[in-house]
Amino acid sequence: MSGYDARTLAFYAAEAPVYTASGQSGVSRHLDRFLDRLSDGAEILELGCGGGRDAAHMIVRGFAVDPTDGVAEVAAKAEARIGRPVRVMRFDELAAADRYDAIWASASLLHVPRDDLPGVLARIHRALKPGGLHFASYKGGGREGRDRFGRYFNYFAREEIEAIYHEAARWDWLDLAESLGGGYDGVQGPWVQITVRRPR
């Protein structure tokens, strides 16, 4: 299992200054609803923190945040923004067990090759404490492919997301929603958001 796409990582390394400067006007629209489910001071692992805007918001709200990104150049930009260390870690390198109250993965796991995603989700499940929450958002569409920048996306349909989470581990289902939205490429399209809990 690789759990990552080399061309995608290379894009983010080369474009880190421009990419992390984009989208600075606000945090993920799903973040506060997720944080409202957590206890005060909960420990949150962020997978794929990008420029650090969501991590900064979590910190302001008083949570203990462990921000990570798979690209050193991007992690350095996030560090400069939030003023604390950001670990360089790919999804397939997550080795924690029973540690986190929550794992936040906004628009990041969508880069994991389809065949590798169940293994990454199993790692997320193991890293959560019993009762811990996990959020992820994916570009929809039901096909895998690359955008105009050469970035890989798994492009899952809603039913495929359900199936792959069931394959990976046992979850309590909290939310599974679809919406329209954009991204760095400026293209509007379908998105799928999922919130699940590791059973107690």
Amino acid 105: pLDDT: 98
Q: What is the residue whose two structure tokens read 């006007």?
A: 25
Amino acid 17: pLDDT: 87
pLDDT in tens, 20-49: 876 555 789 999 999 999 999 999 999 999
Q: Count helices and strands (H / E) in the chain.
A: 6, 9
pLDDT category, 85, cuts 50, 70, 90?
Answer: very high
Amino acid 24: pLDDT: 52
Amino acid 181: pLDDT: 85
Q: In sequence order, which ranges of the chain are alpha helices (DSSP H)?
A: 6-21, 31-35, 53-60, 72-82, 117-127, 158-168
pLDDT category, 160, cuts 50, 70, 90?
Answer: very high
The yes or no reply on domain 6-197 and CATH 3.40.228.10 is no
Q: Count Cα neighbours of 28 within 13 Å in the Cβ-side half-sphere.
A: 26
pLDDT category, 184, cuts 50, 70, 90?
Answer: confident
What amino acid is encoded at 152 in this protein?
Answer: Y
Residue pair 147/127 in contact by the 8 Å Cβ criterion:
no
167's CB contacts (< 8 A; 6+ apart) are 118
Amino acid 25: pLDDT: 55
Mean pLDDT is lowest, of 43-47, 60-64, 176-180, for 176-180
pLDDT in tens, 107-134: 999 999 999 999 999 999 999 999 999 9
Whether the pLDDT of residue 50 is over 70: the answer is yes
pLDDT in tens, 94-108: 999 999 999 999 999
The mean pLDDT of 175-189, rounded to a whole number, is 83
CA nearest to 122, candidates 55, 112, 193: 112
Share of the chain above pLDDT 90, in %: 85
pTM, two decimals, is 0.94
